[in-house]
Homo-oligomer: A and B are copies of this chain.
Amino acid sequence: MLNFKLIINILGRLLVLTGFLMLSSAIVSLYYQSADLEAILVSSMICIVFGFFLRFLTRNPDRVPGKKEGYFIVASGWVVISFFGMLPFLVSGEIPSFTDAFFETMSGFTTTGASILTNIEGMSPGLLYWRSMTQWIGGMGIIVMTIAIIPYLGIGGMQLFVAEVPGFAPDKLHPRIKETAKRLWAIYFIFTVAEVILLVLGDMPVFDAICHSYSTMATGGYSIKNSSIAFYDSSYIHYVIIFFMFLAGTNFTLSYFALKGEFRKVIANEEFKFYSIALVLSAVLIAFVLVLVMDFRIPNAFRDSLFHVVSIVTTTGFVTADYNQWNLFVKIFIVALLFVGGCAGSTGGSMKVGRHLLLFKNTITEFRRIIHPRAVIPVRYNGKVVSSDIMSNILAFFYIYIMIFIISTLIMIALGLDLNSAFGSVAASLGNIGPGIGEVGPAGNYAQIPGIGKWFLSFLMLVGRLELFTVIILLTKAFWKK
C-alpha cells in the first residue's frame, strides 16, 4: 500500500515552495504598478497556507519514500502544482477559462511552452513573469528528477546517461544526491544569470531578458512577445539565445565538468558529440534548401535555420520565423526533428539524443549479431557495455512513444482537428516543444483546440515530461497490487 501520509507531506512542501516562488512575481507587479498584484498575492497565500496545512495534517511521516511512492509523487507533483500554479491567471481573470488556465500552467511547468494566449503582450507584467517562471521551476524539477529519481526508478535507460554524476548510485536514493542536485541547480542559476546579462548587453530590456532567460534554460519557450524572438531584430540576440538553448539541451553534468575544467570528459561524451554534429548538419542542410529554393540570403538562412533546429531539438520552441511557410521538405524535416529531443540529463524533452544514439548503435550491432549468431556482441556507450535490460527498456520506450503518438493523433483528429494540426499538436505536446505545425505552428496557438483536446494534450505533456513510464505505470494493475 502506498504511504499517502508521506506523499501528501511531500506535496505540501512542493506547494509551499511554489507559493513562495509565486510571491516573487508580486515584486514585478509592484514595480510596474500593474493590476495583477492582488491576484498574485491571494494565489500565493492560498498555495502557502494550503501547503502548510497539508504538512501539518501529515506531520512526522514515518518512513522514507519507496519506489512506488517515487512514481506517485513525481506524477502527482506536476499535476498538483499546475492546479495551484494556475490560480494567478484565474483569479486575475486574465485567463478566465479553467481549462485554458490549467493548460497554460501545465504547459509551463512541463517546460512545453504551448500557449492558448492570442495576445500575449496584453497580459499584466506580473502574470507574464509568473508564466515564464513556471517554466524555470519546471526545469529545476526536471534536473532533480532526471538526476535523482528517474535513474533510481530504473526507467528509460536514464541510469545510463547520468552514471557519471558525482554521488550517483542507480540502486538507491543516495544521500549525496542532494549535494549533486544543489550543484546542478547552481549551474542552472549561473547560466540563467549569464544569459540575462548577455541579452541586456544586446539592448534587450531587463524584464524581457529575465523572462526569456527563464524559458531558455528550462527549454520552455514561453515568450512575452506575440511574435516570440522574432520581435527582437538583432542577430546578436538570436545567437545568444541559440547558445543558451544549446547549453540547456546539453546534459547538465557535462556542463558541471566543463565548469570544473574537465573538458576531456565533455569531448569524450558520445551523446554530446552526436548532438552537436546532428545540430550543425541539420542546420546546414536546411540553410542550403532555404538559399537554393527559397532565395534566402546566406547569413539569414543559416541564422534562421540554426535557430529553429536548436530550438526544436532542444525542445525549447522559440521562433524567429514562420517555418510553416517554408518549403515542404524543410517543414517535414523540422517535423522529424520534433522527435529527437535534447540530451539526457538536460531540461530538454522528447525522445532524447542519447536514446536515438543507442537505438542506432543497437541496430548496427543487430546486423553483426545476425552475421555471427554464436558471438555475444554487446552495445557500447562511452566505452562501457550497455546491459541488455537497459537496451530492451530503451527499445520499449521508443515503441511506446510511437504508439502514443499514433493513437493520440487519431484522437485529436476525432476531436475535429485537421491532420497537420493533430499531428503537430501531439508531437509538440508529447515532446514538450510548444509550437508544432498546422494551426499550432509558429504563427498559431492552442486557443482554438476544443476543451477536451486541451486536457488531453496537457496529459500528453505530463506523460512526455516524465519519460512515459512514470505516468503510465500508475495505470497498470501491477503497480497497485501489494
Contacts and interface: CB of A to CB of B under 8 A. Distances in A.
Contacts of A389: 369
A409 interface: yes
Interface stretch (A126-134, A191-199, A220-228, A328-336): A328-336
Nearest to A413: B329
A469 B333 contact: no
Interface stretch (A245-253, A309-317, A397-405): A397-405
Contacts of A153: 370
Given A332-B410, A370-B473, A392 B391 contact: yes
A388 interface: yes
A363 B364 CA distance: 23
A236 interface: no
Contact of A332 (B332, B368, B409): B409
B367 A473 contact: yes
A399 B359 CA distance: 7
A476 interface: yes
Chain A interface size band reads 35 or more
Count of identical protomers in the assembly: 2
A179 interface: no
A371 interface: yes
B388 A479 contact: no
Contacts of A373: 154
A391 B393 CA distance: 12
Of A359, A395, A419, most buried by chain B (CB within 10 Å of CB) is: A395
26 contacts: A153-B370, A154-B373, A328-B413, A329-B413, A332-B413, A332-B419, A332-B422, A336-B406, A336-B410, A362-B396, A363-B396, A366-B393, A366-B396, A366-B469, A367-B476, A367-B479, A368-B478, A369-B393, A370-B473, A371-B478, A392-B392, A395-B395, A395-B396, A395-B398, A395-B399, A402-B402
Given A329-B414, A370-B469, 6 more contacts: A332-B409, A362-B392, A366-B393, A366-B396, A367-B472, A398-B399
